[in-house]
Structure 1
Amino acid sequence: MSPEEQSQATPFRQVLLKIHSRCNLSCDHCYVYEHADQSWRHRPMVMSKRIIDNTAARIGEHAEHHALKTIVAILHGGEPLLAGAHTIDYALRAIRRAVPRSTRLRFGLQTNGLLLDERFLDLFSQHGVAVGVSLDGPSEANDRHRRYADGRGSHTAVVSALHLLQSERYRQLYSGILCTVDLDNDPVGVYEHLLEFRPPAIDLLLPHGNWTKPPPGRPDDQSQTPYADWLIKVFDRWYAGPHRATRIRLFESIISLLLGGPTSSEAVGLGKIDLITVETDGSIEQGDSLKTTADGAAATGLHVAHHSFDDALEHPGIRDRQRGISALSEICQRCPIVKICGGGLYAHRYRVDNGFVNPTVYSADMFRLIRHIAGRVVADLDRWRVIQPSPH
């Protein structure tokens, strides 16, 4: 990427709306409620119609100004279904009215599934909303962290929602399952349990942590790679499985990058960040994962009533995340797999004394995982070359 290309801001193609700021679960690994930034305490629970209208206008304005072919609006929280069907319907209609017809508008929603029922799914069918559900594995795995405030596990209720979502009537809405990696869970057991719900895709997320507050089980000894060990077991099961039973975005992105293609995950690769967040009070913020680093780390000081998304593109934090390899630490820039790893998820690079100019706290894990995947792909390519007929 040339310096000229790096200096050109990439427009936002994903807008995440925090339509409800509270949750009906009390997960102890939640990046919204259990980490450094506690700004949710001072925000309204539900996004008002005025803020929805402001946000819709900004989405439409941005799409038109940049002649975007596609833009994605994602309803999020907290738990977005707590906003209620009426508010969600209002938001979907407002955004659709605001986006120019020349831009393809896609809707997404991420939910814990507890409130997902036919009423919501019929509404989502009407608007074409893709629905993702969070589940960390079988009951003993999921319920270790994803619990109600009174300590009850959520697995049974989530399973009911997934059965409904994968039914013939609603299958077209099903975008996949989000699963947070937990070293205490059996990786293959988790993967095979998730497969029972026939997900079109699985997102395996590393638990949020950084150099100041390391993730669970991340040893000081960087020669140890517990998260890579966990992910490799899933990768080998997935890679050898029949027709790759589902898509796993992290693995597919690494393979794509190894072959010279793009990434679809901000956790790997050097792609420019194209996601912006709007909170329930209309504040424009960077990605949610920054809330795990320091109070106010995601803030931009901008608001949809007064500022455009182009104003957000000028924010130093967002510009930094669009600078590509030049924004990475010297260690990362010298690394042989930098174009694949990309420095890792931005929030995972944080250290209190120097900010984000560090490798990811998972650097040893990412190095081992990428090398392992590369080895499997190269071996397959070599076998493919052997069986191809000679051109002569």
Structure 2
Amino acid sequence: MDDTTAAIVVGTYHMPGQTFVNRHIQHLFGGRTCVVANTVTGNPYDKPVFDRGTFTGTPGWKAAAPFRRTLLRLREGTGNIPYGAEKASIKRFLRDNGVSVILSEFGTKAILMTDIAQELSLPIFTYFRGSDASYELGKSRRRQSYARMMPRLSGVVAVSRFLLDNLAAHGLTHPNSHVIPSGVDTRRFTPGRKTPRSYLAVGRMVPKKSSLLTLRAFAEATRDAPDASLRFIGDGPDRARAQALAHELGVADRVRFDGAQPHDVVRDALATSQVFLQHSVTAADGNTEGQPTAIQEALAAGCLVIATRHAGIPEIVEHGVNGWLCDEHDVDTYTGLIRDALDADCASMARAARHTAETRLDNAMLLTRLEQVLKGSPP
């Protein structure tokens, strides 16, 4: 009988939007998990939790904390690495819960736990997901801390080959590296009755997602198609600007801005939408996607995906097969693809999209692969 127990290391627990992390906390090794978190906002899965935010420590530990954190910040780029009384308490928490492997969600969190893992002779893995293997690499101290961390890890997982290649371009490699997408629940995300000429965009309305560009492209592409509609689900700094722009472009009656919504609302919207739009671009600070969860969910829901050749997107969206791709910032091509989708054979691409999700992105299958990696078995 497999009695593997994993400690999941996160920044904040619980974050509803981090479905991939929550899935690991709920289901990895049959639910035999505990959580180490910098901040705890709730415990919906009733897990043993070490809340670093409420750790008080001894008077001596508290007195030394500012000095110690300054030294750590200078060396590692973060002052949040456990030490002293807190470090001992985390080690006791891991022993008391029978932890046999540590999984740090995001590379930046693994830095915090490598010392503890080594001292307890526990294998430790990290999961790179996006900004931790793009934006963070622009910081010299982060690159140095990663370089010290990598040889101490038992293995590395990334949601896309793009992220592993990005790390390697900075001299950061590990012999036990694996690509395992975040995945999608293909039983919950399924195609529904599609509304003709319905377009959907899901995600934070931030410059990296190019919401304003998407809105302009949609308005131009559907100028002669008054029955075409676009729905944005997500909030962010670009939302107010996008709403004003919709009025300026004369499409306010065909564009909805629903703000942030529960996951079930996103699922239902994907099920009935014909086309999914995401014009991801590399941010000015180097921040990139890993492999967007929303695109994986759109494929499972049988949407025709129109996206960019950005980060790990081309690894799951094959141009002309299960979706269409354009280069970042190529507004003309993007607009043309949105126009082409008005009368495209969406049904055949929907079948191909669904097939991709079922055969390559099913989260139950990917969870099994991750468990094999964490146990040291070939995936």
| Higher RCO structure (Cα 8 Å, ≥6 apart) | 1
TM-score class, shorter: 0.3 to 0.5
Which is greater in Rg?
Answer: 2
Structure number having the greater strand percentage: 2
